[in-house]
Amino acid sequence: MKSGRIVLIVVIALIVLLGGCTYNAYNGLVKGDQNVKNAWSNVETNYQRRTDLYNSVIKVVEGSANFEKSTLKEVIEARSKATSITVDINDPKTLQAYEQAQSQFQGSFGKLLAVAESYPDLKTTQAFRDFQTQIEGTENRIGIARRDFNTSVNDYNLRVRTFPGNIFAGMFGFKTKEYFQAKPGSENPPDIKFDIK
């Protein structure tokens, strides 16, 4: 009789222990997944800030009657494309498409700024000067948000791929996520010159 009780106690202890491990592993995976989603949301928030800043300066540029309309049109089209892509952080292709559209937007805006140097009235407007100051801070925020996103993805992927988390990740359908990757050539700074006096 005593050995039956001991076996029952051991079985119950194992069930409680296994249940606790499953509980902790599952909740850790959910928490990691939510951290990745939150970090990506911060990246998108900073991209939106940049878009909003660009929208403001585009209005200033549109007000300059002599400004080259083709360059402005290119920026407006790139902005439209960059804001129309929806990202699924579980699908690396949408993440890449989004980042490519953002890069095209940033590149076309670089051309707009280069052309703007030829228009002294535009360069001296307060809104244009404010934009130049704010865009630097925004680009820094985007860089930090991307880094934080990759840190969250790394933490999550470690949970998904290491033992015993990999067992529970497989049981509950958690998969690794893709890191943010800059496009090739992005290590080279853009060739934008400001000639403001």
HEC-encoded secondary structure of 87-125: CCCCCHHHHHHHHHHHHHHHHHHHHHHHHHCCCHHHHCC
Rounded CA separation 85/108 (Å):
17
Report whether 54 contacts 85 (CB < 8 A). Answer: no
108-125 pLDDT, tens digit per residue, is 777 777 776 667 666 666
Judge contact between 157 and 177, C-beta under 8 A.
Answer: yes
Cβ proximity of 183 and 103 under 8 Å:
yes
* Distances, alpha carbon 44 to alpha carbons 22, 88, 102, 170, in Å: 33, 12, 10, 29
What's the number of CA atoms in the CB half-sphere (13 Å) around residue 76? 10
Strongest mean pLDDT among 12-16, 54-58, 78-82:
12-16
- 55-80 average pLDDT score: 71
Q: Give the three-state DSSP class for 183.
A: coil
pLDDT digits (tens, 9 = 90+) for 121-170: 666 666 677 777 788 888 889 889 999 999 999 999 999 999 889 999 99
> What average pLDDT does range 59-65 have in this prediction?
64
Place 52 in a pLDDT band, splitting at 50, 70 and 90. Answer: confident
Beta carbons within 8 Å of 78's beta carbon, 6+ residues apart: 101, 104, 105, 107, 108, 109
Most confident of 23-27, 85-89, 109-113, 123-127: 23-27
The pLDDT of residue 195 is: 46
Check pLDDT > 80 for residue 55. no
What is the pTM (predicted TM-score) of this model?
0.69
Q: Name the 3-class secondary structure at 171.
A: helix
Measured between alpha carbons, how far is 140 from 138 in angstroms, rounded to an integer?
Answer: 5
Is the model more confident about 75 or about 15? 15
Rounded Cα–Cα distance for residues 179 and 40 (Å):
10
At 32 the pLDDT is 95
